[in-house]
Amino acid sequence: MGLDRTYPGRWSAIMSESNGNGFTTKQYLELIKEGQAELKSELKNINQRIDVLHEKVNAKIDKSEFYKTLLLIATVVSLVGVFTLGS
């Protein structure tokens, strides 16, 4: 049912009608608003947890970075050894 502009006050009557299971339309809307508020707070907590996990993952060095760094160090050491021993 929509807003009936031909009869003033009809909207309040619609809002107080029962839907057959004990709730009025207004009560349903209030329940939906409460549920949305709860979901927002839950999503905020989940996003905070994701941010913390993301920071932890980014703080650690992964295997490929470790092996690249190790290869670079080994290359520099071998070049220094070649130039030192080769002279």
pLDDT digits (tens, 9 = 90+) for 38-68: 999 999 999 999 999 999 988 888 889 999 9
What is the spatial distance between Cα 44 and Cα 37, in angstroms, rounded to a whole number?
11
- Which DSSP category does 9 fall into? T
* pLDDT at res. 53: 93
* pLDDT at res. 8: 52
- The owner of tokens 């470790």 is 66
| Alpha helix (H) residue ranges in the chain | 10-15, 25-59, 63-86
Query: Domain residue spans in the chain?
Result: 10-86
For residue 59 the two structure tokens come to: 């703080």
Give the CA distances from residue 87 to residues 43, 73, 81, in Å, rounded to whole numbers and listed in that order: 66, 21, 10
Residue 9 has pLDDT above 60, yes or no: no
Q: Residue length, the chain?
A: 87
